[in-house]
Amino acid sequence: MTAFPRRRVLALAALALSPARPAHAHAILLDSDPRHAAAIPPGERTLTLRFNSRLDIARSRLALLRPDRSLTVLKLLPGSDHVLAATAQLTPGRHVLRWQVLAIDGHITRGELPFSVTAP
């Protein structure tokens, strides 16, 4: 057997043995600042969510549910396409950060991140 077919055989074998990569890349929240259910001080704060896959930032959003139950859609900061970030002025009380992201595979995922802001 000449070298070429053997190399092809080896390449095919490697392909067959390699773990199949998942076809989709849902965006899963990996990390956040603040953390889930964290208690943080009042004032201006950059809220950051980091995901496992690339996002279509223009079609993703962050909204902040404040202690008075008003909902503010936050302006996203430019940056990595794995990260949603926005600044907000925080006052004491319970908050919920609502996120919705569009992953590059076209799937939308959404979730909530509750946190509280302590009294000064």
Query: Which residues contact Cu ion by CB under 5 A?
Result: 24, 26, 105, 107
7: helix, strand or coil: helix
CB nearer Cu ion, residue 105 or residue 112 = 105
Beta carbons within 8 Å of 82's beta carbon, 6+ residues apart: 50, 51, 52, 53, 54, 55
**26 versus 66: smaller Cβ distance to Cu ion:** 26
Closer CB to Cu ion, residue 48 or residue 53? 53
The smaller minimum CB distance to Cu ion, of residues 26 and 50, is found at: 26
> At its nearest, how many Å lie between Cu ion and the CB of residue 27?
8
The Cα–Cα gap between 108 and 26 comes to 8
**Dist CA 28 CA 66 (whole Å):** 24
Residue 108 Cβ vs Cu ion, minimum distance, rounded to whole Å: 9
Q: Shortest Cβ distance from residue 30 to Cu ion (Å)?
A: 15
Q: Cα–Cα distance between 40 and 102 in angstroms, integer?
A: 28
* Residue 52 CB, nearest approach to Cu ion (Å): 11
